[in-house]
Chain A
């Protein structure tokens, strides 16, 4: 009982505080609390950096809490954001389940919640305002479509899958397979897991080259992420072939190193998983605060395809963000 009382008192106090604030200064800065997972990858670090930059652009005050890969830290962060009475809470959820009760607290405090880059599992869709994520199936499709167009629909592809059972690996395969099914001349001749790492990507590609007559039977390699593609490029080079020419290289993510490889003519295309998840979320939030119009439940980020012609400029633009 007492705990509940404390929470509702805190929320009431917070609500009062916000109300007073709104009366005193109508054009006060929006305050957004962002519970980030951590900084386990270059992409994640870029997402945080971009969130800050995009907030500055719009004059938003962004408070970031690093959860160090733990859901309990994220729940604590959300509670503290509720207590501080922020205008909105962004969460990049580390896991899909277990969010209902803390999101209810935010809802009771009338603080809109936006999910960034990952979805959650909940029965009550009203617990969050919207989710900004990429469509990983679509990413696979974009990569496949580029390859089909480039090769006139005729290509023997080897595939480097991500970690077995992980959702990006399953979805990026699914999207690519859809395009392969539409093109009778396209075929996946070998597929193996490279665990999303450079070292495994290189090792698997070495075997593929040997298994396919020294690489002569391979038209292209499709890697579920850029790191594996970078490993595969090295394996192709060491086998005495030219990556990007003898074997086409297409992958997903858009990390700086693949742009470097493209600028050197060793990779052919990458589908970007944009680290700018916060930008669309801010825009939706500002629109919501202005005229109360709720955004759609899912805001899909663009899966843009990049090719070597813009690679050099893109590399310069990105190398410091990651």
Chain B
């Protein structure tokens, strides 16, 4: 119980930032919150934020686990490209949907296993270990597609990208499912505690009986799986696999989402839901910029400015100067009631 349970105040910068960005979008574009049904599917800018944010949110879920072990996975963008390339190529060759999905997910699993073994068994630093696959993975994807955009017409695979379940777009559904499964795995079992323990101190957690290699391999495999699902979504969405561009630089967006969500790159305590909120903040900005009519030259500057503000709000040095609701509780006292959505609250 050495990891102090954070109060709701710790989540304020994230939720506050999300609400602020959404309100800014609404001011720029009054119809921002308007939602209607289109062909049995929810349709509106807010839905776009959720739908377009889904791939990065999925990556962020896997990345949170990895970062909590004091690691990082730079290869997720390349894994997306591989999984998408396999899905599109196999679908084009006439394989059935279950076989295609199984192969794509297996590719993600293998990539994760590779990263995990490099980090856990060979003890290569995560940033270097995953850099290998980041570079090589895109090459593998290009080999699969032979350097072309492989398109397909199968409506069943396309459904993953542009279909809907009870009017909710499939990418959003898949993200919610991934979030729920991950939260269940790490919060309903001791796995989450072990992940945090490995992140805080790998040696002493091994000494305390945690099977650190297995925990490490597991988080990288999970991260690879999440990336494979994200790759499927992106490929299904455009009905084609673009090995050169699918998931390009998204590893950075995913890391950013996790950091904006308040999880430290130094490992230990993590917040799953907050990482997804981080991904939504990033996507709300992207969508807002597109709606606003700013010149494209300003896109990156606006994005950087807003992110800087969010990160400053979380900065320990700056928060000292801000009025705080109440000083931190003494360690080991009764936990305050925690909203069910704040995944980062329970140690």
Contacts and interface: CB of A to CB of B under 8 A. Distances in A.
Nearest to B162: A238
A199 B290 contact: no
Interface string B274-300: 000000000000110011010111010
A39 to B, nearest CB: 5
Interface in B281-321: 286-287, 290-291, 293, 295-297, 299
A127 interface: no
B296 A234 contact: no
A73 interface: no
B299 A40 contact: no
A257 interface: yes
Closest 7 CB pairs of A and B: A207-B290, A193-B296, A198-B238, A197-B245, A42-B148, A211-B291, A240-B38
Nearest to A241: B38
Contacts of B246: 199
A198 B248 CA distance: 13
Nearest to B37: A240
25 contacts: A41-B147, A41-B244, A45-B147, A164-B296, A191-B295, A193-B299, A197-B245, A198-B238, A198-B242, A198-B245, A199-B237, A199-B238, A203-B52, A206-B48, A207-B287, A210-B45, A210-B291, A211-B29, A211-B290, A227-B149, A234-B162, A234-B239, A238-B39, A238-B162, A240-B43
Contacts, number: 81
B290 A192 contact: yes
A208 interface: yes
A204 interface: yes
Contact of A211 (B43, B147, B293, B299): B293
A262 to B, nearest CB: 15
Interface string A56-69: 00000000000000
Contacts of A40: 147, 244
Contacts of A210: 29, 31, 44-45, 48, 291
Contacts of B293: 190, 211
B245 A192 contact: no
B55 to A, nearest CB: 9
A198 B240 contact: yes
A240 B41 CA distance: 11
Interface string B78-116: 000000000000000000000000000000000000000
A199 B245 contact: yes
Contacts of B290: 192, 203-204, 207-208, 211
Given A203-B286, A204-B290, A207-B291, 8 more contacts: A45-B148, A164-B297, A198-B242, A207-B287, A207-B290, A210-B31, A210-B45, A230-B238
A140 interface: no
Nearest to B32: A210
A257 B147 contact: no
Nearest to A195: B245
A161 interface: yes
Nearest to B45: A210
B234 interface: yes
Point out which of B31, B246, B296, B299 has the most chain A C-beta atoms below 10 A from its C-beta. B296
Interface string A228-264: 0011001000111000000000000000010000000
Interface of B: 29, 31, 38-39, 41, 43-45, 48, 52, 147-149, 151, 162, 234, 237-240, 242, 244-246, 286-287, 290-291, 293, 295-297, 299
A322 interface: yes
Nearest to A46: B148
Nearest to B51: A206
A172 interface: no
A84 B29 CA distance: 64
A141 interface: no
A257 B29 CA distance: 34
Given A164-B296, A192-B296, A204-B290, A198 B149 contact: yes
Contacts of B29: 210-211
Q: Which of A39, A192, A199, A322 has the most CB of B within 10 A?
A: A199
B170 to A, nearest CB: 12
Contacts of A208: 290
Contacts of A197: 242, 245
A228 to B, nearest CB: 11
Contacts of A230: 238, 240
A224 to B, nearest CB: 11
B289 to A, nearest CB: 8
A127 B151 CA distance: 43
A40 B147 CA distance: 6
Nearest to A198: B238
A107 to B, nearest CB: 34
Which residue, of B52, B148, B238, B246, has the highest number of chain A Cβ atoms within 10 A?
B238
B293 to A, nearest CB: 6
Contacts of B45: 207, 210
A206 B290 CA distance: 9
A69 to B, nearest CB: 12
